[in-house]
Amino acid sequence: MKRVLLMILCLVAQPLWAAALETDLVDIQHRWAEIQYQMPEDEKEKAFEGLASEAEQFVTHYPGRAEPLIWQGIVLSTYAGAKGGLGALGLVKDARKSLEAALEIDANALDGSAYTSLGSLYYQVPGWPLGFGDDDKARQYLQKALAINPDGMDANFFFGDFLLDQGEPERARTYLQKALEAPGRPGRTIADTGRRDEARSRLDSL
């Protein structure tokens, strides 16, 4: 009897746990977009520092799930960008650890976002001896992200941005245009608007 009750409790708890994870995920995503795209530059570092603490709690609350780790990596990497300088290097290394841990759990989680974020880190972070930047690894990860989510806004934007960085403007144009035309993501209007603005800016530079 006890075993049956335990099984029933587990069946009830699983969807509730999944719903709670989704709610917390949406909260992190929304707050990240507000900071990244709506906040003045001189306020971003402190705001991302606070969001990094929330992301750490998010990971703790849902052990064994890739989604919190992916968003911890995203938050830490953008926090590093806002912070800048040598102090940012520790943050990007922590971001890489979170994203690699997410890949080990579920490489397809959030449409391959761990690959997208790792790829963006590898081409934006300085190379040796200061950092771990590596253009070959960046290309590899970004192409894996596109294989999982070929029409995704972020996957196309970051591969286009990478190609622009590599001196391949015509190829970059194709992916940046695709990012601009990518379908919107439910509940992520601020992030979608900001990303499209970034894609448009890159295209205008061409």
Per residue in 148-198, pLDDT (tens digit) is 999 999 999 999 999 999 999 999 999 999 999 999 999 999 999 999 999
Confidence bin at 1 (pLDDT 50/70/90): low
Contact call for residues 75 and 28 (beta carbons, < 8 A): yes
Give the C-alpha separation, 159 to 154, whole Å: 8
pLDDT tens-digit map of 63-90: 999 999 999 999 999 999 999 887 899 9
pLDDT at 135 over 60: yes
pLDDT at 99 over 60: yes
Give the C-alpha separation, 128 to 158, whole Å: 22
Model pTM score? 0.90
Give the C-alpha separation, 183 to 181, whole Å: 6
Tell me the domain boundaries of the chain: 43-138, 150-206
